A and B are shown apart, each in its own frame.
Chain A
């Protein structure tokens, strides 16, 4: 395994002096926070009957936010030396964070709306040190966009061996196609959006003392008086329409301007976002594979999204996204490009798992419902256990699909593993990125002759399972994937 030691002189002069964050943050941070507090402030000041205390509390709140922003700015300094990025912050609790530059794996630029108005960008460097969760990287919030771009190149160049001119632009691997918007309703974001929106509207209505419940109640009465099928159809129709538009809005806000590029400094870079723009750069040396995710609905529409398996990406905010929901063919095409393979490993036909694995899936799908039905038959009204029994065929179908999803394969450079039905995930993990094995066998797996093989890695989720594989097949797979690691502990015979 190659390591990130620099083999070439610096392409860019390092910064050694202590720097403050951009002075515009004095305005932007309070602005961002006040925007978040608008409902509270409206509730405090606009509502009520102009009592003095309401106005005073409102003013005090804003003053506190501004003062806090000022203190943050005054006490925060950063510098970038030859070896590390250092950040000092905090007035009452002084913190000094240092990240060794050779450990930097990713650079994530985020500009919220307030940042963008003032040409600023927050920059987060990720190191992927899992054993120290609090010290996983460091955030500079914020510097000017130009400075952020300069730092991005400076911090990532260190970990590669090229000295390519930083001003060259990258190769575009994929960019947003408006036809992809058809996948938006197939994500669950719409439903979530409906819930959030409803909560927001009701809250605001209550704050503003607007009478929405009156007309709503009237409407509800009218609906209830109609036949049941009409009620159900109306309700479903309204939810579907709102969820559809909601998910479209969420898709556009998150992924507008999506572009995946390979930069000359050997990083893969994802840019996206309508209001808050994000740019996540991953050092290609640290890319350990990709994961094709197909939630059930998206899969039904032949869509998928793609995630990277990388060291140094936090799980926050989907920073590992490589491709938003898009045609599954596009996901495979992008996988191949990102992994620098002629044909994407995610297209390799996967080996089926033994029929005992199907039995396990079905038992898991059916038995809990049977137990539940038996319990309900004793303790609850009859219709509850009848409904539970009626659900069993669907659950069994899901179990069968979970079995169909199971699969594994090995290519020249990658280990492939697939599982899941409601969320089917196919991971292509670089074989050199595997840093250990776990073989687990439950009491029932032992009876069925199955094991679950887990490849551990420094990247992504940290562990990827090959679920319910035949014992001999699974061990052979692990043995072949990483030569010499498992071999001394394997024996033949029964």
Chain B
């Protein structure tokens, strides 16, 4: 590997973690996803049990359990966000990670959104869009109060910036 000495430039982690309740949310998402895959298999096993079927079912249970246990905690360690007066900065993902930076001067809309599971847990997602068709910045799993406060803050700073943000 051709490392460029110790003077390596890299992105620092954004300042704030998301709410701890996100772990529960991601666990529920994973459980639902694997249930969709496992229930039909279980039903099929009642009627016939070929070695292939059993192998597939066992594999699904093992991978599903591992994914459900590992992914939410890993994500929680990764997911972070930060809003400065000039930019919104997020880090998300687990195996694959992505940093996104959107300057406040280019923000077009700020939305908060809550799915049914999120409502149950008191969480919100803040979505910041720019004029680009690619990739709005999502901040998932904020506490509701925090999400509203952040959205208000961003809306105010955005309105104070002139131009049509293209």
Asked whether A130 lies within 8 Å of B87 as measured between CB atoms, the reply is no
- The distance in angstroms between the C-alpha atoms of A181 and B83, with both chains bound, is 54
- The distance in angstroms between the C-alpha atoms of A355 and B2, with both chains bound, is 9
B3, B14, B109, B132, most chain A CB atoms within 10 A:
B132
A493 close to B (CB within 8 Å):
yes
8 pairs, CB–CB < 8 Å, chain A vs chain B: A438-B134, A440-B96, A449-B3, A456-B132, A458-B165, A471-B8, A493-B7, A494-B3
Q: Mark A3-34, 1 if CB is under 8 A from B, else 0.
A: 11000000000000000000000000000000
Question: With A485-B101, A492-B9, A492-B10 given, can you name 4 additional A-B contacts, CB distance below 8 Å?
Answer: A440-B98, A456-B134, A472-B4, A472-B10
Residues of B within 8 A of A489 (CB): 11-12, 14, 82, 87, 89, 99, 101
Smallest CB separation, B129 vs chain A (Å) = 6
B1-58 CB contacts (< 8 Å) to partner A = 1-4, 6-12, 14
A400-439 CB contacts (< 8 Å) to partner B = 435-439
Residue of B nearest to A1 (CB): B163
Smallest CB separation, A445 vs chain B (Å) = 8
Asked whether B10 lies within 8 Å of A457 as measured between CB atoms, the reply is no
- The distance in angstroms between the C-alpha atoms of A456 and B166, with both chains bound, is 11
B116-157 CB contacts (< 8 Å) to partner A = 129-135, 137
Residues of B within 8 A of A488 (CB): 84, 86-87
A462 close to B (CB within 8 Å):
yes
Asked whether A311 lies within 8 Å of B6 as measured between CB atoms, the reply is no
- The distance in angstroms between the C-alpha atoms of A3 and B102, with both chains bound, is 19
Asked whether B166 lies within 8 Å of A311 as measured between CB atoms, the reply is yes
- The distance in angstroms between the C-alpha atoms of A4 and B164, with both chains bound, is 9
Asked whether A438 lies within 8 Å of B10 as measured between CB atoms, the reply is no
Given contacts A128-B166, A440-B96, A485-B101, contact A435 B106 (CB under 8 A): yes
Chain B binding site: helix, strand, loop or mixed by DSSP?
loop
Asked whether A440 lies within 8 Å of B166 as measured between CB atoms, the reply is no
Given contacts A436-B106, A436-B130, A441-B97, contact A490 B10 (CB under 8 A): yes
Q: Mark A472-490, 1 if CB is under 8 A from B, else 0.
A: 1101100100001110111
Residues of B within 8 A of A437 (CB): 99-101
Asked whether B166 lies within 8 Å of A131 as measured between CB atoms, the reply is no
Asked whether B131 lies within 8 Å of A435 as measured between CB atoms, the reply is yes
Smallest CB separation, A26 vs chain B (Å) = 38
Asked whether A456 lies within 8 Å of B8 as measured between CB atoms, the reply is no
A443 close to B (CB within 8 Å):
yes
Asked whether A485 lies within 8 Å of B87 as measured between CB atoms, the reply is yes
Residues of A within 8 A of B10 (CB): 471-472, 475, 490-494
- The distance in angstroms between the C-alpha atoms of A412 and B130, with both chains bound, is 25
- The distance in angstroms between the C-alpha atoms of A489 and B102, with both chains bound, is 12
Asked whether A472 lies within 8 Å of B162 as measured between CB atoms, the reply is no
- The distance in angstroms between the C-alpha atoms of A311 and B132, with both chains bound, is 9
Interface residues on B, range: 35 or more
- The distance in angstroms between the C-alpha atoms of A356 and B10, with both chains bound, is 18
Residues of A within 8 A of B6 (CB): 493-494
Residues of B within 8 A of A436 (CB): 100-103, 106, 130, 132, 135, 137
A interface residues, how many (CB within 8 angstroms): 50
A470 close to B (CB within 8 Å):
yes
Residues of B within 8 A of A486 (CB): 11, 101
- The distance in angstroms between the C-alpha atoms of A493 and B4, with both chains bound, is 10
B66 close to A (CB within 8 Å):
no
Smallest CB separation, B101 vs chain A (Å) = 5
Asked whether A354 lies within 8 Å of B2 as measured between CB atoms, the reply is yes
Residues of B within 8 A of A83 (CB): none
Residues of B within 8 A of A3 (CB): 162-164
Residues of B within 8 A of A106 (CB): none
Residues of A within 8 A of B96 (CB): 440-443
What 7 A-B pairs come out closest when comparing CB atoms? A462-B133, A463-B134, A458-B131, A130-B133, A456-B132, A462-B134, A435-B106
Asked whether A439 lies within 8 Å of B99 as measured between CB atoms, the reply is yes
Given contacts A128-B166, A435-B165, A440-B96, contact A476 B134 (CB under 8 A): no
B62 close to A (CB within 8 Å):
no
Asked whether B132 lies within 8 Å of A435 as measured between CB atoms, the reply is yes
Partner pick for B103 among A435, A439, A449, CB 8 A cutoff: A435
Residues of A within 8 A of B8 (CB): 471-472, 492-494
Q: Mark B84-96, 1 if CB is under 8 A from A, else 0.
A: 1011010000011
A233-261 CB contacts (< 8 Å) to partner B = none
Asked whether B9 lies within 8 Å of A490 as measured between CB atoms, the reply is yes
Asked whether A131 lies within 8 Å of B109 as measured between CB atoms, the reply is yes
Residues of A within 8 A of B103 (CB): 435-436, 485
Asked whether B86 lies within 8 Å of A456 as measured between CB atoms, the reply is no
A262 close to B (CB within 8 Å):
no
Smallest CB separation, A264 vs chain B (Å) = 24
Residues of B within 8 A of A463 (CB): 132-135
A461 close to B (CB within 8 Å):
yes
Asked whether B101 lies within 8 Å of A475 as measured between CB atoms, the reply is no
A101 close to B (CB within 8 Å):
no
Asked whether B129 lies within 8 Å of A131 as measured between CB atoms, the reply is yes
Residues of A within 8 A of B12 (CB): 489-491
Residues of B within 8 A of A484 (CB): 86
Asked whether B102 lies within 8 Å of A356 as measured between CB atoms, the reply is no
- The distance in angstroms between the C-alpha atoms of A108 and B163, with both chains bound, is 25
